[in-house]
């Protein structure tokens, strides 16, 4: 069956084989840190230096990693798909962008970073967003106000509203295929997207992950295995 309006949700599992840690697997990012310290507005207010350091390291790591076969398979599929293809990612890395870099993407393609982006900074005073490739700390002057203590990573922390929720709701309501890739289904609202699609009654839902996620029983179809194996095969046959 050919699908017209496709939504793909990705999580940390798609970037694992590029060398980026997931969050909840053994040795994952949250294993060495308290979420309250590095991923909440309160943690940032308490110890901005620690939070900047955490994200500076992760931003620097992006220079060392490349998209893997799973990111590339989605990018290749996007170039030939004639309907809409919305990639909603919970990831703050730029591997989906790297995978499409240099290609003219069709009009129907869009990529939404619902949890923000490591390579962006935001001014606390004006909310202006800047591309950011270097380190930042409390002394870094903000490009718009030229003052210190104004910049923060453009990352959605716990207790904050994820980005693009209206647009995401629109795409979930009209999609005829929803594919969830490499996410454990622990964090809402993303974990609830499958339910939103099911409630419209017209979207087929597929989970592709290393192992069954929290919400696995809600999906019509499930494929388990490493993303670099399962994803290329899935998109070639779609």
Contact residues for ligand OAD, defined by CB under 6 A: 11-13, 16-17, 22-25, 28, 39, 90, 115, 156, 182-184, 186-187, 209-211, 213, 226-227
Distances in Å between the Cα of 153 and the Cα atoms of 10, 32, 108, 141 are 21, 20, 29, 14
Nearer to ligand OAD (CB atom), residue 9 or residue 142: 9
Residue 138 C-beta: closest distance to ligand OAD, Å: 21
Nearer to ligand OAD (CB atom), residue 14 or residue 142: 14
Question: How far is it, in rounded angstroms, from Cα 185 to Cα 168?
Answer: 17
Nearer to ligand OAD (CB atom), residue 24 or residue 220: 24
Residue 222 C-beta: closest distance to ligand OAD, Å: 12
Distances in Å between the Cα of 104 and the Cα atoms of 24, 67, 113 are 35, 17, 20
Residue 45 C-beta: closest distance to ligand OAD, Å: 17
Catalytic option among 5, 96, 113, 115: 115
Q: Could you tell me which of 142, 226, 148, 151 has the C-alpha nearest to residue 182?
A: 226
Question: Residue 78 contacts by C-beta under 8 Å, 6 or more apart in sequence?
Answer: 85, 87, 100, 105, 106, 109
Distances in Å between the Cα of 112 and the Cα atoms of 7, 15, 55 are 11, 16, 20
Angle at 85 between CA 65 and CA 157, to 5 degrees: 55
Is 171 known to be catalytic?
A: no
Nearer to ligand OAD (CB atom), residue 55 or residue 77: 55
Residue 139 C-beta: closest distance to ligand OAD, Å: 25
**Catalytic positions, written as ranges:** 115
């Amino acid at each position: 069956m050919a699908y017209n309006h496709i939504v793909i949700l990705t999580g940390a599992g798609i970037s694992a084989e590029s060398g980026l840690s997931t969050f909840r697997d053994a040795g994952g990012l949250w294993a060495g840190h308290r979420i309250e310290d590095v991923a909440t507005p309160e943690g940032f207010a308490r110890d901005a230096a620690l939070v900047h350091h955490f994200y500076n390291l992760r931003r620097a790591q992006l220079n060392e990693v490349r998209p893997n076969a799973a990111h590339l398979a989605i990018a290749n599929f996007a170039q030939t798909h004639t309907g809409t293809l919305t990639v909603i990612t919970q990831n703050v890395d730029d591997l989906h962008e790297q995978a499409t870099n240099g290609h003219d993407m069709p009009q129907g393609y869009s990529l939404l970073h619902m949890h923000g982006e490591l390579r962006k900074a935001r001014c606390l005073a004006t909310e202006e967003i800047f591309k950011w490739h270097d380190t930042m700390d409390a002394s870094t002057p903000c490009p718009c106000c030229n003052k210190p203590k104004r910049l923060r990573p453009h990352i959605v922390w716990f207790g904050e509203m994820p980005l693009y929720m209206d647009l995401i709701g629109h795409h979930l309501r009209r999609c005829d295929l929803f594919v969830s890739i490499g996410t454990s289904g622990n964090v809402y609202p993303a974990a609830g997207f499958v339910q939103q699609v099911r409630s419209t009654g017209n979207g087929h839902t597929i989970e592709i992950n290393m192992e069954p996620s929290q919400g696995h029983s809600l999906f019509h179809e499930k494929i388990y295995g490493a993303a670099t194996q399962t994803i290329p095969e899935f998109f070639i046959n779609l």
